[in-house]
Structure formats: C-alpha cells, structure tokens
Chains A and B, each alone.
Chain A
C-alpha cells in the first residue's frame, strides 16, 4: 500500500518535471515540504489526543453506552453526536478512533463522520451561513438530516470486511 503510494508520487513527480520543467518542479517540491511540515505536527497531535483520551475516558461507561448503539437508534445517536461535535477534524477523528476501539460498529462510525461533515454546527455557523445565506443553509441542513443514518445503513450492508487498526496496540479490530 505504501509502496503503491510512493510509486504514484514518483510518477507524478516525474510527470511534473518532464512536462512543466525544473522551475515548476522545484516550486512544487517546496510547497510539498511546506505542506508536510504543516500537517505532520497536526496529525501527530491528533494521534496524541486520541491516545490520551482513550486512556482517560471511563471505558466501562463508554462501552455500556455503546452497547445500546445497535440498530437505527445507534445511528441516530451518532448523528446527534456529529452535530454537536465542536471543532474540526482534530476533534472528530480522534473521537472516531475512541468509539471504534470501544466497540462502535462501522455504521455508527460512518454515520458519525457523515453527520460531523454535513451537519456539524460549527461548520454551519462559520461557513454555511455567511457564504450561502440562511435560507439555503436551512434547506441543506434539513435535507442532510437523514443522510448520516442512510450512510450508516449502507455501511452496515457492505459485503466485505473492514479492519480498523487499534491505536493502542497494533492489532486489527474486525468490524
């Protein structure tokens, strides 16, 4: 998987060099390096947050709560959680890892991420409303309300098995 990515990257680099010349290539490399130095600390931080929270959270309560997440009720809970998740990806993704490790099934995970992406209050207040106006935003919000549940239902019906690596150990968690 990694080598596939690496090969693709090398191919793109070669293409860029060949088609656009040295200067474009150098500027692209510079920008890439900048992007990487920008992102790596953030990804590391997200991992740290997930790790810390995993150890700090009361695991039994979480597991008990999550045991009730079978069926559509769980998807609805995930949707609500996604709406109220404060902050951006730095909050949502570590939380996803946490509930995954605590036993949430793939439907709940997909529904949660979809809800955060489409209905996250913070996103709507900061971006939707100013750019698109109240009427459009309300319409989109209402339309998007059932979407996370639909996505969760689809996710549960997908045939192949998916494994999610545990952050605390290297094992895979079959979903």
Chain B
C-alpha cells in the first residue's frame, strides 16, 4: 500500500502516514489502558468460571455466552478487543471467542446504534438485527466443528 501511495506522487503517502500516526497517538494510550483494565477485569472473574463457561470443554454454552456477551458490550473496538484478548489469555475457547467478536461486530450496542438509527431508521435496524441474530452462534458452531475436525485428524 505504501508503494501504491508513493507512486501516486501527489502527497497521499505523506498524508496517509501523517493521518496514521495521528490516529495511533490518539488511540495508543487508550489501547494500553483498556488492555490493562480488561486484564484486571478478566482476572477478577475467577479462572475456573471462565474455564467452565467459556473454556474448551464448554461447547455450546461457551458459544452462547460469548454471543450474549458480545451483544451487550457497549464499547468500541479498543475495549472489546481488549476484553477478547484478555479472555483468550485466561483460557476462553476459540469458538466462544469467535462468537463473542462476531456478536460484538454485528450489534455494537453503542455508537453504531446511535449512528444507525438516525441514518437508516428504526425499522431497518430492527430488520437487520433479526437477520443477523443467528450469526454469532452459527459462527461459533462452525468454529467448534472445525476445531473438532482438526483435532480428530491430528490424532
């Protein structure tokens, strides 16, 4: 991408770089703090709960809980991905994490709702919610199946 921007020779490389650095400076402190906060938060929940409900053996429960959690987390990507990373570090299973991130991306209980309803109307948002409702669980289940298949073939 940098090569493409440089080849344009109209300053877009510089502008792009400046913009990226600017954004990074804005986000980096928040990211660091969010990661720290998320780690603490996740540590507060005892590891055996995470293990029992979201861990590798939790199966569908983990997927379901991950989906619901992703649905209700009213935060931007900084916090949400920090939470996901912290959960992963504490032993959450891949299917549960996939469900969590899928749910959060699709619903984004926060600003995107505030964006979406004014721009597209509540009727559209309601329809979109309904269309998309099953996807986190579906994604988590697919991840589960893939994991099973992979582990069986390895054995």
Q: Do A and B bind each other?
A: yes
List residues of A whose CB falls within 8 A of some B CB. Answer: 1, 39, 42-43, 46-47, 50, 89, 93-94, 96-97, 100, 106, 109-110, 113-114, 117-118, 123, 126-128, 131-132, 136, 139-140, 143-144, 147, 150-152, 154-155, 158, 162-165, 167, 175
Given contacts A46-B119, A89-B112, A151-B132, contact A139 B124 (CB under 8 A): no
Contacts of B82 in A (CB 8 A): 131
Can you report 16 A-B residue pairs in the complex whose CB atoms are below 8 A from each other? A39-B114, A50-B119, A93-B116, A100-B120, A110-B132, A114-B135, A118-B135, A126-B77, A128-B81, A132-B84, A132-B85, A139-B146, A140-B143, A163-B121, A164-B123, A167-B119
In the assembled complex, how far is the CB of residue B32 from the closest CB belonging to chain A, in whole angstroms?
A: 12
Q: Are B123 and A162 in contact (CB under 8 A)?
A: yes
Q: Are A140 and B98 in contact (CB under 8 A)?
A: yes
Chain A residue with minimal CB distance to B136?
A147
Contacts of B118 in A (CB 8 A): 43, 47
List residues of B whose CB falls within 8 A of some A CB. Answer: 77, 81-82, 84-85, 88, 94, 97-98, 101-102, 105-106, 108, 111-112, 114-116, 118-124, 126-128, 130-132, 134-135, 138-139, 142-143, 146
Instruction: Give the CA-CA distance A144 to B103 in the complex, in Å.
Output: 11
In the assembled complex, how far is the CB of residue A1 from the closest CB belonging to chain B, in whole angstroms?
A: 6
Given contacts A93-B116, A139-B94, A143-B143, contact A118 B128 (CB under 8 A): no
Q: Are A96 and B114 in contact (CB under 8 A)?
A: no
Q: Are B128 and A155 in contact (CB under 8 A)?
A: yes
Instruction: Give the CA-CA distance A114 to B108 in the complex, in Å.
Output: 12
Q: Are B115 and A43 in contact (CB under 8 A)?
A: yes
Instruction: Give the CA-CA distance A70 to B134 in the complex, in Å.
Output: 23
Chain B residue with minimal CB distance to A167?
B119
Q: Are B121 and A164 in contact (CB under 8 A)?
A: yes
4 closest A-B pairs by beta carbon, nearest first, are: A155-B131, A131-B81, A117-B105, A154-B131
Q: Are B101 and A140 in contact (CB under 8 A)?
A: yes
Chain A residue with minimal CB distance to B20?
A126
Contacts of B111 in A (CB 8 A): 39, 89
Instruction: Give the CA-CA distance A167 to B127 in the complex, in Å.
Output: 19
Chain A residue with minimal CB distance to B108?
A117
Q: Are A117 and B128 in contact (CB under 8 A)?
A: no
Instruction: Give the CA-CA distance A48 to B116 in the complex, in Å.
Output: 15
Q: Are B131 and A152 in contact (CB under 8 A)?
A: yes
Q: Are A114 and B132 in contact (CB under 8 A)?
A: yes
Chain B residue with minimal CB distance to A38?
B111
Chain A residue with minimal CB distance to B147?
A139
Contacts of B88 in A (CB 8 A): 132, 136
Instruction: Give the CA-CA distance A154 to B126 in the complex, in Å.
Output: 13
